Amino acid sequence: MMRFQKTTEYAIRVMVHLAENMDQRLSARILSDKLDIPYKYLGRLMSKLAHAGLVDVEKGTAGGYRIIHDLDSIYLYQIADLVEGLEDYERCILGFQECSDENSCSLHDHWVKPRKIVKNMLYQTTLLDLQKKSQDQP
């Protein structure tokens, strides 16, 4: 079953939580506790998100992280590409080096549509979409 790597799951969860709290900066400790992400792991992830310009960090007691772009300008593919890369979405599902429409493995034709659906979801879904969805949930 295809799913995001753990780091991508964490990155999306962090970004959605920050999107839900746009009016404040959240510390790594608060994010770690609230989202149940190991603190040291989160620190490395947040550094990566900050270095890529997706979040801003302010040091000090009143510091923390916040999203610095409009939520409708940050797409899931940007987050996934940053933390795990998008190469897995192009590879053969069975791991063969030579697998294409012309030289396909036994699952190739079955995988083309689901792969396209996943890629479309990554390229069309914004943080604003996810923030709205999370606000609709009880």
**Two structure tokens written together for 88:** 């897995």
**Number of structural domains the chain divides into:** 1
Per-residue pLDDT for the chain (138 aa), expressed as one digit of tens each? 467 889 999 999 999 999 999 999 999 999 999 999 999 999 999 999 999 999 999 998 888 999 999 999 999 999 999 998 888 777 888 888 888 888 888 988 888 898 899 899 999 999 999 998 877 765
Report pLDDT for 38. 96
The Cα–Cα gap between 127 and 15 comes to 7
**Does some domain include residue 94?**
yes
- Residue range of the domain that includes 105: 6-136
The Cα–Cα gap between 105 and 115 comes to 15
**Does some domain include residue 86?**
yes
The Cα–Cα gap between 134 and 74 comes to 16
Tell me how crowded residue 112 is: count the other CB atoms within 10 A of its CB: 13
The Cα–Cα gap between 79 and 8 comes to 7
What confidence tens digit (pLDDT) does each residue in 51-86 have? 999 999 999 888 899 999 999 999 999 999 999 888
Report pLDDT for 1. 47
**Two structure tokens written together for 138:** 């009880």
**Does some domain include residue 1?**
no
Domain CATH for 12? 1.10.10.10
